Chains A and B, each alone.
Chain A
Amino acid sequence: MENNTTSNEYVRGTLKTIVLNLLAEHDRMYGYEITQEVKERTGGAIALTFGALYPVLHKLEQEGLLLTESVEVDGRLRKYYSLTTPGSEAARTKTDDLERFIDAVRLLLAPRNLATE
């Protein structure tokens, strides 16, 4: 649990990018599917809580980056999300940004002699 909360601190800033990137790989996804995907691919290192995920999804939808469609599955309404054209562009740029940021952070975190070399 403690592990999760610490990771959540970093997740909060990168959540948008993670969601966009995942949606760029899939046609359409629903909320629980995204959390499961993240959990599986990170081996449980990053666990998205629904309390953090859905506000982000709604915000992206409002910004016009995501499209939604509701499909009835097992007697429940399941809301699927997919990227719009500006959404896929945003996914690309945001992923690039994040990668550059991670590289920079890695340089910062690496031992000094390694970084200079």
Chain B
Amino acid sequence: MKRLQKDRIDLINEYLKSNKLDPELLPEILDHLACEAEERLWDGKPFDQIFNNMKDFADGQTLLDLSVDHKNLLAMEKSLNDIVFEGRNKLYGAYDLRKSYGQTIQRSVIIGVTLFLLIVMFPNLYARLVPDPKPDDIAYVVEAAPLDIREMIEKPPVEEVQPAPEPKTVRSLTPEVLPDEQVPEENLPPVLEELENAQPAAKTLDGVEDISIIVPPAPEAASAKPAIAEVEVKKDEVFLNVEQAPAYKGGVEAMSAFLQKNLKYPSKAASAGIQGRVFVQFTVGSDGKVESATALKGIGFGCDEEALRVVKLMPNWIPGRQAGVPVRVRFTLPIAFQLN
């Protein structure tokens, strides 16, 4: 096979270029035409004739068609950006931005939608991932140390509190008015001998005999011994007879001295020569106060009023006691008016 000389190939190349063949197609077409020319040379034809022949069948129109065809083919692949940026500076950056615009938008849409869905569904997801606590779930364990409650109760010992010396008491209950057959035998009131050395109380106790001052039982002791608290004495009730009658402070002598000192013989009664006794009834309260004094039976002539006035003047008495508790006692005091 005859080789085509370099200058002849260049000649063909120049020809193709002058016909504005697409540079991308040029090497291929050049090779094709060169091959054909070599074939003809092999047949023994002169190059000039071959070249002219070539110009005939590879005329400008055919080459132009080839270029246009090729361009159309590439245009199918080319995007608008390639056309816009054709012959411009693509390195500037705008081309890359435009080229990757689609990708960027696609990526950002996916990320945005994902984030949005995550935020919207976060409560739901969280609820799914963190299971609801079951009723028998144990949040934490507390070791329960066994506590001896009895020991704790025993700790505050009452022994330290010196039990108040129990006064010797004799069972003595407030007598109740009942039909004969219902009167309980054991509730008989105490006899005088018994009361000499003992205090009347709800229970008979062997306590200390000579307790002159009766200390009110300590509140703890009272609660500790509910038997005593059981005795309920109606303070408002007015008694006629009590185990311990109310007494004037200082005794009968003191009272008579007080009366002598304060009583004044009413002049009317004196002039009328009236003598006799005025019975004044009053109530000694549980605090010893003399109240609601009235003249039960009088002698008149101002003696009743005088007697009442003096009785009301009297200082507080020692209150009467029933079962050891001070009570209100109705008391009748005769006051004698006597002319010397």
Q: Given A55-B66, A62-B76, A75-B6 in contact, is the A50-B27 Cβ separation under 8 Å?
A: no
**Distance, CA A54 to CA B33, complexed state (A):** 12
- Does A78 interact with chain B (Cβ within 8 Å)? yes
B1-44 near A? 1/0 per residue, CB < 8 Å:
00110100100000000000000010111111111100100000
By a CB distance below 8 angstroms, the chain B residues around A75 are 6, 9
Chain B interface residue count: which class? 20 to 34
| Inter-chain contact A78/B9, CB cutoff 8 Å | no
**Quick one: closest A residue to B76, CB to CB?**
A62
| Inter-chain contact A31/B62, CB cutoff 8 Å | no
By a CB distance below 8 angstroms, the chain B residues around A73 are 31
| Inter-chain contact B62/A51, CB cutoff 8 Å | yes
A window 5-59: CB within 8 A of B: 30-32, 35-36, 49-51, 54-55, 58-59
**Quick one: closest B residue to A1, CB to CB?**
B57
User: Whole-angstrom distance from the CB of A29 to the nearest CB of chain B?
Assistant: 12
By a CB distance below 8 angstroms, the chain B residues around A77 are 27-28, 31
**Quick one: closest B residue to A33, CB to CB?**
B35
**Quick one: closest A residue to B57, CB to CB?**
A49
Chain A interface residue count: which class? 20 to 34
Q: Choose among A32, A55, A74, A79 the residue that contacts B69 (Cβ–Cβ < 8 A).
A: A55
| Inter-chain contact B70/A55, CB cutoff 8 Å | yes
- Does B206 interact with chain A (Cβ within 8 Å)? no
Q: Given A32-B36, A75-B6 in contact, is the A54-B73 Cβ separation under 8 Å?
A: no
- Does B325 interact with chain A (Cβ within 8 Å)? no
By a CB distance below 8 angstroms, the chain B residues around A54 are 25, 28-29, 32, 66
B window 79-115: CB within 8 A of A: none
| Inter-chain contact A50/B31, CB cutoff 8 Å | no
B window 154-213: CB within 8 A of A: none
Binding site for B on A (CB under 8 A): 30-32, 35-36, 49-51, 54-55, 58-59, 62, 70, 73-79
**A–B complex contacts, Cβ < 8 Å, 29 sampled:** A30-B31, A31-B31, A32-B36, A35-B32, A36-B39, A49-B57, A50-B32, A50-B33, A50-B66, A51-B62, A51-B63, A51-B66, A54-B66, A55-B69, A55-B73, A58-B70, A58-B73, A59-B73, A74-B3, A74-B4, A76-B9, A76-B27, A76-B31, A76-B34, A77-B27, A77-B28, A77-B31, A79-B28, A79-B31
